[in-house]
Chains A and B, each alone.
Chain A
């Protein structure tokens, strides 16, 4: 079984709809991240969480919110989706605060906003 799972894997929604992307991990890591990937732009950080009570904005948090329901679960919400939020979204985890820590990525959620 995968260590970092994301649901749904694909989603099509309409402008103005609320949508939630979910991430679960079985690695026992405290740190979790949400990124979006756009062609030619690489990955950009949306939000990150170092534990259940710690949520931090990333580079591009506008239009997004997150919830850390438990150590293993970190959800990303688009309160009112817009077409330029069409992207590939990745959840990632890491286990330490060391500078050389490795991040472990989920398989991604492909979101299309019409």
Chain B
């Protein structure tokens, strides 16, 4: 079954530093991959998604992710962290043959002033 693994349940970066949140998927075929963000006391919202049109996907708020089939990865990056990026980030995959998303365990991002 398809699944995603998020390395690091907590990541801290300084304001202005690079943000890198890791996501690896397990699948024999390239799946549909998503990054969602959850701000404090809010529901999840879509950050970006991979749909096979391009391996480098740009999302909202300056985030982007690169699909690397050879590494089965879909890491999320942002060149310069902002205080408002503090949130929990979830990688998700569409299961083959299923109609729902399967979420990773989440990575909480803290931005240090």
Contact = CB atoms under 8 A, between A and B. Distances in A.
A4 B43 contact: yes
B51 A42 contact: no
Interface residues of A, number: 26
B90 interface: yes
Interface in B58-113: 90, 94, 99-106
Most chain A Cβ neighbours within 10 Å, of B9, B36, B99, B106? B99
B46 interface: yes
B22 to A, nearest CB: 15
A41 B105 contact: yes
Contacts of B44: 43, 90, 92, 103, 105
Contacts of B51: 99-100
A107 B45 CA distance: 10
Given A105-B44, A106-B43, A108-B43, A42 B90 contact: yes
Nearest to B4: A42
Contacts of B49: 100, 102
A48 B100 contact: yes
A61 to B, nearest CB: 12
Given A41-B105, A42-B90, A100-B32, A33 B100 contact: yes
Nearest to A50: B99
Contacts of A92: 43-44
Interface of B: 9, 32, 34, 36, 41-46, 49, 51, 90, 94, 99-106
Interface of A: 4, 31, 33, 35, 40-45, 48, 50, 56, 58, 90, 92, 97, 99-100, 102-108
22 contacts: A4-B43, A33-B100, A35-B103, A40-B106, A42-B103, A43-B103, A45-B101, A48-B99, A48-B100, A56-B99, A99-B94, A102-B34, A102-B46, A102-B49, A103-B44, A104-B45, A105-B43, A105-B45, A106-B43, A107-B43, A108-B41, A108-B43
